[in-house]
Amino acid sequence: MGSLALAALLAGISSTAFAADPANIVGTWVPTALSAATIGTPDAISATDKPTTSHDISGAWTVTIDAQDGGAFTGSGLGPSGKAPIVGAFRLDGKRFVISSTNGFANGEVDGDQLELCWTDNIPYLIAAGCAVYKRK
C-alpha cells in the first residue's frame, strides 16, 4: 500500500513539474483601464500630503516588449516621466509574470491580447500602487 501511495505522489509531482509555454507578448501594449493610488511627488513627501487616487489612463504607461526568449523578456515603458527599461519573466503557468524596472516592480497576467499589470513604486518622495488593463496595439 505504501508503494502505491508513493507512486501516486510521484506521479502528481511530475505532472505539475512541466511548465506551460509562455504567451508571446512581443509588441506594444496600450492602457484601456487604470486604478491607482499615490502619495507624494517626485520632489517631496511630507506628513501633510494626502493620498490621491486616479482612473485616468492618460497617466498610465504604454508598454513595449521588444524581445522574448522563452519565459524571459525585455522592453520599455513610456509614460509621463519618460521612457524606462523593463525586464521580466513568466511563471510556470505561462500566463502570469513579473517585471522589474528602475522605478519598481510589477506583476501581471496575459489572456490573449489583453494584459493586466499591477505595480508598486517606492522611490524617493513618492509611493504608488496601481493596476491597469492593456490591449495589444
Q: Which of 10-14, 37-41, 58-62 comes out lowest in average pLDDT? A: 10-14
- Using DSSP's 3-state secondary structure scheme, residue 29 falls into strand
Q: How far apart are CA 75 and CA 87, in angstroms?
A: 6
Nearest to 78 by CA among 58, 88, 63, 66: 63
| Residue owning grid cell 524606462 | 84
pTM: 0.80
What local confidence, expressed as pLDDT, does residue 18 receive?
55
Q: How far apart are CA 73 and CA 124, in angstroms?
A: 27
Q: Which of 19-23, 46-50, 118-122 comes out lowest in average pLDDT? A: 46-50
- What backbone torsions phi and psi does residue 12 show, to the nearest 5 degrees? -65, -40
Q: How confident is the model at residue 42 (pLDDT cuts 50, 70, 90)?
A: low
Q: Which residues contact 2 (CB under 8 A, 6 or more apart)?
A: none
What local confidence, expressed as pLDDT, does residue 102 receive?
85
Residues constituting the chain? 137
Q: Which CATH number fits domain 21-136: 1.10.357, 1.10.3470, 1.10.150, 2.40.128?
A: 2.40.128
- C-beta separation of 85 from 104 below 8 A: no
Q: How far apart are CA 35 and CA 62, in angstroms?
A: 15
